[in-house]
Structure 1
Amino acid sequence: MSRIQPTKRYQCFIGGRWCEPASGQHFESIDPFLGKPWALIPRCDGRDVDAAVAAARTALERGEWASMHPSRRGQLLRRLGELIARDADRLASVEVQDNGKLYAEMRGQLSYLPQWFHYFGGLADKIEGSVIPIDKQDMFTFTSYEPVGVVAAITPWNSPLMLATWKLAPALAAGCTIVIKPSEFTSASTLELMKLVEEAGFPAGVLNVVTGFGAEIGEPLTSHPGVDKIAFTGGEESGRHVAHNAAQNFKRLTLELGGKSAQLVFPDADLDKSVKGVISGIFAATGQTCIAGSRLLIHESIHDEFLDKFIALAGTARMGDPMSMETQVGPITTQRQFQRILTCIEMARAEGAECVMGGRPATRPECADGWFVEPTVFMNVSNSMRIAQEEVFGPVLSVIRFREDDEAYAMANDTPYGLGAGVWTTDQRRAFTAAKRLRAGTVWTNTYRSVSYMAPFGGFKNSGIGRESGQEAIYEYLETKCVWMSYEKDVPNPFVMR
């Protein structure tokens, strides 16, 4: 696939209209492979946030969307899914140019994303309340569900459309309206998606996009009194700040934050399969994923053999242009993250960890002027080191030995995070034991990085609050209402609680 040329200029999308930001300003989006600007993104501010929230509020409370039957909402969701499938190639190319992830992976994600809209479109008219056999005479009591209201959806730079979809599909199925703030580093694909929202026929104001920087629009959006819920994916510190803002007027909150996921390789594991799985967990997506399996906990009896196989295979990884289907490791998305990864590598060296692979910027000719880091492996890591406790968000693996299963579970759980974990074993009893013992929202056994619209996703501890995907996700965007109806003939003592 070819890159979009020349520099493209975008507008923001508010109230069903394409418009210039109130500031009249734009900022550059940088192609991580070429290290050059390729798009101009609207620099919105609080005025645009106010307009977007007002448009979402109007759509929620008045007009076509407010009175739309859930079955019709489902039809619109399914239509949007069809349009995404039709334009998957184009959307994937935009994602790659914006964030540098592999076209092969982005194309696969874009082909799969329609399933979220089909799934939640089918769920839209199947959210049923219940009649409660209440313990009060002459009373009829039932529950119903209503949309939580206006949702602020804040997405990160590593998989913008996938992580937006995880929020949009259940929120729209529930009947909410949405203001989306994509990362300032990767806003283009979300704006491209709004063209399909228009084509699908969503009423004006149901979906709105404001783009720009955290202090200028993230802050006014997350603290806006017209926002009822925040759905956020990003880093732990930003998530903590978002939670603080939400608490000021008790907004509902979903947070999908960072991780320091462990992959546990037991002595009975299929070595060849587990080597590939661990590589997938840390070097796929250049390690720029919240579920990166960045800690390898490996039994001492297979430590040397496993690492020999691992380094031999990882060393063959093809780096270069992420648009090429042959590339396996692409660039780091932002220059700031590139520098942070290099800082973490030096931190590991200073702690006494032994670098046995990579550990430096990639200077291969095929990497051009991009922000590339060689896939990196550290041995002799203790679980207390910062490199084993802090999220790097890059292609850096820490290798930690263990002797007993209990020791492995304890080390796996001994971080502030609890997003994912991988288990490699052919022992069924051990697999079930590990799934129970590991404190993580997702445990993969003999696989890694598998996700589905049917399966809930989210974390324990500092990895977040709430769940995305699966049937559970739609309830994150609904409020439960209990209705009491009396049919008694007389009113008893009004001074006594019923």
Structure 2
Amino acid sequence: MMELKMYIDGKWCNSVSEEKREVKNPANGERLAIVAEGSTEDAKCAISVARRTFNSGIWSQLPFKTRAKYLHKIADLLEEEADDLAMLETLNNGKMLLAAKTDVQNAIECFRYYASLITQPEGELYNVGDSVQTIVTREPIGVCSLIVPWNFPLLMASWQIAPALAAGNTFILKPSEVTPITAVKLFEIIEKAGVPAGVANLVMGAGNSVGSEMVESKLVDKVAFIGGTKTGQNIMRVAAEQTKKITLELGGKSPNIVFADNDIEIAVDNALFNLFFNSGQVCTAASRLLIEESIHDQFVERLIERARKIVVGQGNNPKSEMGPLVSEEHMQKVLNYIEIGKKEGATLACGGNRIVGNGYEDGFFVEPTIFTNTRPDMRIVQEEIFGPVLVIQKFKDEEEAINLANDTVFGLAGSVFCQDMEKAMRVVRQIQAGITWVNCYHVATIQAPWGGYKQSGVGRGLGMFGLDEFSEKKQINISYKAKPVGWFSN
């Protein structure tokens, strides 16, 4: 069993309190690791180190090309350990091994992308007057607190770390308490790549201690958070008091609109993937399926038939198609929402139970679950469940589909399945969401912005947009010849 420590100022260390936390495999309850459990004092120490290191200029003042070499080295080392990292992600998170392998490859791509991006020509030049020019340059923000979730532990950490490093910042990372293993392995790689001590710091621990200090500290210049909307709102309140920069990717209740002109088999296959991939533990999961009335009954019948055949099991079993939920606590939350749906009067058409017996009893498995006959005011329709629970809504026409799609406080993602491309584009442009798809789902490119409308977040990650979120733009005005202004009389 692994014993994992925090990484502060280039040193591996236990917490000040010497407290530990057990990390378990959600598929069978087996202990995977004993992890140092950080406290507020540990967070303060890491923040102080990051502040001192940033002010020293050892990283922030490096040439872009030099920083890029470090990022490429991190990517190289990730590639060398890709198989081991993927297996650790599966064991710690419960996801399918194929999905974990894809996450690792996307993390590698992320570091390579930002390494290449910062070596491209950059800056703006304006002629603003006779012998006067304005130059706009990019500078690092400073000390960044990065708080990432448990559903894509390595990938979400990479999405934040790569642009933060590329821009010249120092940072503190807090992974989720339940999935810290690949974060620790990533920091082993960062150390091996030779990143100077104090630039990258890792503190494990609870949100109400470590996380709170990382948000509230006046030594922190920027907070990047991926997680629940309520926590994001609290971060906004604290940040507002200090006018602190933030990037938030928050909750979602994303619609998947299916029009009647689709091939039903293709649309059903996509609807299953759009929600049940990663057991529904995806911020952009299409947890609301909107079906045109004329094909509703036929579509639902085939959807339920297919959903009942989904093979649920351990992520490292090649026969499995859907894994466990990440923890017992989260499983109980999902099961509670299923009970809420039944009490609200929705029809439980498929699943709805914890899977036990035959090797499942020690894992956190929930059946693929489908609700029909739902109303827009139901909690299961409005609130993010973050599990394998799909709610179905029926619509008569294009206008109703758009109204239903936008009838939540969220606006992270959405999709349209329609063979009439003029209609599809007309509808997708009216979906109030930051990430949208037509006739596909979960397709993403690192060059494009990632983030949401409404209560789904603030700011954008990935691409040049992500680098901008970790940078300050400075205006420098230069007169090549000083001369009197003549504003005041002699």
TM-score (norm 2): 0.97
Deviations 1:71-113 (A, max 9, x none): 1111111111111111111111221222211212111211232
Q: Look up the equivalent residue of 1:199 and give its one-letter code.
A: K
Deviations 1:414-438 (A, max 9, x none): 1000000011111110121122111
Distance in 1 of aligned mates of 2:411 and 2:79: 33
For 1:45, the equivalent position in structure 2 comes to 39
Are the equivalent residues in 1 in contact too, given 2:106–2:155 (CA < 8 A)? no
The answer to whether the aligner puts 1:72 opposite 2:37 as a matched pair is no
Distance in 2 of aligned mates of 1:489 and 1:322: 69
The one of 153, 163, 173 equivalent to 2:156 is: 163
Moved over 6 A (4+): none
Moved more, 482-491 or 444-453: 482-491
- Name the SS of the counterpart of 1:68 in structure 2: coil
The answer to whether the aligner puts 1:391 opposite 2:384 as a matched pair is yes
Using the TM superposition, give the Cα deviation of residue 492 of structure 1 relative to its aligned residue in structure 2, in angstroms.
2.1
Q: Look up the equivalent residue of 2:448 and give its one-letter code.
A: A
Moved more, 54-63 or 152-161: 54-63
Q: Look up the equivalent residue of 2:137 and give its one-letter code.
A: S
The one of 123, 143, 164 equivalent to 1:129 is: 123
Using the TM superposition, give the Cα deviation of residue 138 of structure 1 relative to its aligned residue in structure 2, in angstroms.
4.5
The answer to whether the aligner puts 1:406 opposite 2:407 as a matched pair is no
Distance in 1 of aligned mates of 2:168 and 2:85: 26
For 2:466, the equivalent position in structure 1 comes to 473
Are the equivalent residues in 2 in contact too, given 1:33–1:321 (CA < 8 A)? yes
Distance in 2 of aligned mates of 1:35 and 1:73: 41
Identity of aligned residues (%): 36
Using the TM superposition, give the Cα deviation of residue 115 of structure 1 relative to its aligned residue in structure 2, in angstroms.
0.7
Are the equivalent residues in 1 in contact too, given 2:59–2:169 (CA < 8 A)? no
For 2:214, the equivalent position in structure 1 comes to 221
Are the equivalent residues in 2 in contact too, given 1:270–1:424 (CA < 8 A)? no
Deviations 1:333-388 (A, max 9, x none): 11111111111111111111001100111125142410111100011011221110
Moved more, 456-465 or 324-333: 324-333
For 1:288, the equivalent position in structure 2 comes to 281
- Name the SS of the counterpart of 1:302 in structure 2: helix
Q: Look up the equivalent residue of 1:101 and give its one-letter code.
A: K
Distance in 2 of aligned mates of 1:312 and 1:250: 52
Deviations 1:428-473 (A, max 9, x none): 1012112211110011111111122122111000000111112211
The one of 296, 303, 307 equivalent to 2:300 is: 307
Q: Look up the equivalent residue of 1:175 and give its one-letter code.
A: G
Are the equivalent residues in 1 in contact too, given 2:355–2:361 (CA < 8 A)? no
Using the TM superposition, give the Cα deviation of residue 63 of structure 1 relative to its aligned residue in structure 2, in angstroms.
5.1
- Name the SS of the counterpart of 1:132 in structure 2: strand
Are the equivalent residues in 1 in contact too, given 2:415–2:428 (CA < 8 A)? no
The one of 102, 110, 113 equivalent to 2:104 is: 110
Using the TM superposition, give the Cα deviation of residue 53 of structure 1 relative to its aligned residue in structure 2, in angstroms.
1.4
Are the equivalent residues in 2 in contact too, given 1:261–1:291 (CA < 8 A)? yes
TM-score (norm 1): 0.95
The one of 4, 7, 13 equivalent to 1:19 is: 13
Distance in 2 of aligned mates of 1:212 and 1:127: 40
Moved more, 413-422 or 309-318: 309-318
In structure 2, do the counterparts of structure 1 residues 127 and 55 end up closer, same or farther at CA, with 3 Å as the change threshold? farther
For 2:196, the equivalent position in structure 1 comes to 203
- Name the SS of the counterpart of 1:67 in structure 2: coil
Distance in 2 of aligned mates of 1:377 and 1:79: 45
Q: Look up the equivalent residue of 2:90 and give its one-letter code.
A: V
Distance in 1 of aligned mates of 2:13 and 2:38: 11
Q: Look up the equivalent residue of 2:170 and give its one-letter code.
A: T
Deviations 1:1-44 (A, max 9, x none): xxxxxx32111001111111111111111211112332111111
Are the equivalent residues in 1 in contact too, given 2:250–2:456 (CA < 8 A)? yes
Distance in 1 of aligned mates of 2:313 and 2:138: 50
Distance in 2 of aligned mates of 1:40 and 1:495: 72
Using the TM superposition, give the Cα deviation of residue 233 of structure 1 relative to its aligned residue in structure 2, in angstroms.
0.2
The answer to whether the aligner puts 1:236 opposite 2:229 as a matched pair is yes
Using the TM superposition, give the Cα deviation of residue 307 of structure 1 relative to its aligned residue in structure 2, in angstroms.
1.2
Deviations 1:303-346 (A, max 9, x none): 11111221121211111112112211111111111111111111
Q: Look up the equivalent residue of 2:39 and give its one-letter code.
A: D
Distance in 1 of aligned mates of 2:57 and 2:11: 17
In structure 2, do the counterparts of structure 1 residues 495 and 41 end up closer, same or farther at CA, with 3 Å as the change threshold? farther
For 2:90, the equivalent position in structure 1 comes to 96
Q: Look up the equivalent residue of 2:17 and give its one-letter code.
A: S
Q: Look up the equivalent residue of 2:85 and give its one-letter code.
A: L
Moved more, 477-486 or 387-396: 477-486
Q: Look up the equivalent residue of 2:334 and give its one-letter code.
A: I
Distance in 2 of aligned mates of 1:419 and 1:211: 28
Are the equivalent residues in 2 in contact too, given 1:362–1:373 (CA < 8 A)? yes
Distance in 2 of aligned mates of 1:363 and 1:67: 56
For 1:134-283, what aligned pairs fall within 5 Å after superposition?
A: 134=128, 136-283=129-276
Q: Look up the equivalent residue of 2:351 and give its one-letter code.
A: G
- Name the SS of the counterpart of 1:397 in structure 2: strand
For 1:356-435, what aligned pairs fall within 5 Å after superposition?
A: 356-435=349-428
**Any stretches of 5+ residues in structure 2 without a counterpart?**
none
Distance in 2 of aligned mates of 1:406 and 1:366: 48
Distance in 1 of aligned mates of 2:169 and 2:263: 46
Moved more, 96-105 or 482-491: 482-491
Distance in 2 of aligned mates of 1:242 and 1:84: 31
For 1:4, the equivalent position in structure 2 comes to none
**Any stretches of 5+ residues in structure 1 without a counterpart?**
1-6
Distance in 1 of aligned mates of 2:247 and 2:413: 17
Deviations 1:31-72 (A, max 9, x none): 111123321111111221122112222332225323311011
Are the equivalent residues in 2 in contact too, given 1:286–1:331 (CA < 8 A)? yes
Q: Look up the equivalent residue of 2:462 and give its one-letter code.
A: S
- Name the SS of the counterpart of 2:443 in structure 1: coil
For 2:52, the equivalent position in structure 1 comes to 58
